[in-house]
Amino acid sequence: MSQYRSVLFLCSGNFYRSRLSEILFNHYVRDAEINWDADSRGLLERVRHQGLSPSAVRYLEARNFEGVEQYCRNPQTLILKDLERADLIIALNREEHEPMMKARFGQLPSMMRRQGKLRYWNVYDLPGSAGFFKSLFKSNPDRSSQVEESGTEHIDFAVQALVAELKRLGDKPLGKPPGSPA
């Protein structure tokens, strides 16, 4: 049996997107019987939230996840050691998180991306939940028509696709994600 490998999910506050990704990933890899596990962190050094997003809790409960309260740890901030430990890092929104990664870690994110260790997804935060950050990072300013469920469904679909990819790869080294530019 091979050694466990790890994926680290990143979002701004480690309250909703990255935490939901972590929980779903760990659930799906158990079912897929692959040797991966997930953790998550936030890029902001200070967040006002505690526990797990009520949106994430509702989503998990609607899908009959038992013991959702076990996932309600407080958000944690990303440090360099977290990046070093992870085999794969997924930042949940390139437009929002790439500038934050570069501001905190200089050229390291670009190097990690070229090595296939860092990927950016395109999952936006819940509408209206981070207006200040949307204006700071010029994230898609008009997402008012997005419903809460669409963001959680997007995360779920992306996580399932990632688990399927990792299962296909087996113990092979990670490379560029499918469809990414050279």
Domain range for 90? 15-169
Q: What is the pLDDT of residue 165?
A: 96
pLDDT band, residue 80 (cuts 50/70/90): very high
Residues paired with 37 in a beta bridge:
6
Residues near 70 by beta carbon (within 8 Å), at least 6 away in sequence: none
Q: How far apart are CA 159 and CA 164, in angstroms?
A: 9
Q: What's the confidence (pLDDT) of residue 143?
A: 43
Q: Does the pLDDT value for residue 182 go beyond 90?
A: no
State the pTM of this model.
Answer: 0.83
pLDDT(94) > 90: yes
Helix axes 54-62, 148-169, angle to 10 degrees: 70
89 lies in some domain: yes
In a domain, residue 182? The reply is: no
Residue 179 pLDDT > 70: no
**Any domain includes 53:** yes
Residue 38 within a domain = yes
Q: What is the CATH number of the domain that holds 100?
A: 3.40.50.2300
Q: Is residue 8 part of a domain?
A: no
Q: What is the pLDDT averaged over residues 61-83?
A: 89
Q: For residue 17, which phi and psi values (nearest 5 degrees)?
A: -60, -55
Minimum mean pLDDT range among 22-31, 79-88, 130-139: 130-139
**pLDDT tens, position by position, 123-156:** 887 654 444 344 444 444 444 444 445 578 889 9
Number of domains observed in the structure of the chain: 1
Residue 176 lies in a domain: no
Do strands 118-120 and 88-91 pair parallel, antiparallel, or not at all (unpaired)? parallel
Summary mean pLDDT of the chain = 84
